[in-house]
Amino acid sequence: MSGTEDENLGPLGVSPNDETPEGWCEVTCVFPDLKVSTKFIGGKLVKRPEAGVFDCKFSQRSVVLTLECKNAKKKMKKYSYEIKKLPANIDPDESKVKYKNGKVILRLKKEEAKSWQREITSNGIDQHEEEDELEKGE
């Protein structure tokens, strides 16, 4: 066995914040095993995970985050988090990901600077429902 567990784990917690500067929404995902160090990349100091694989893909209405990092017992853990349907469109090219010890912050640049607070309060950041998948299958 390679030391990597097959099962992908989700974040310990997810906290959306729509009360950021206008036109942005931040989603904080808690991954207790994530350790971050500062690296010099492209002439700037940037915080990146210390070890493992990390990737974040933004599309107009969704986000897929995957990361692999060592836990306290030095075993690799795989984590993933997906927002299948955001409350509205984002600009994937302007959206960003920030890494901090124990968490990942997704900075989503909205196409329209309209509040998502009502949608987030009602359904959470992911507006995806099982009926959405059933409609696609018909």
Cβ 102 vs Cβ 34: under 8 Å: yes
Residue 95 belongs to some domain of the structure: yes
Q: Which domain holds residue 16?
A: 4-133
Residue 93 belongs to some domain of the structure: yes
State how many domains the chain has.
Answer: 1
Residue 138 belongs to some domain of the structure: no
Which of 41, 35, 40 lies closest to 54 in space, CA to CA? 35
Output the pTM of the full model: 0.84
- pLDDT tens-digit readout, 51-90: 778 899 999 999 999 998 887 788 888 999 999 999 999 9
Residue 91 belongs to some domain of the structure: yes
Residue 127 belongs to some domain of the structure: yes
Q: How would residue 50 be classed by pLDDT, with cut points 50, 70 and 90?
A: confident
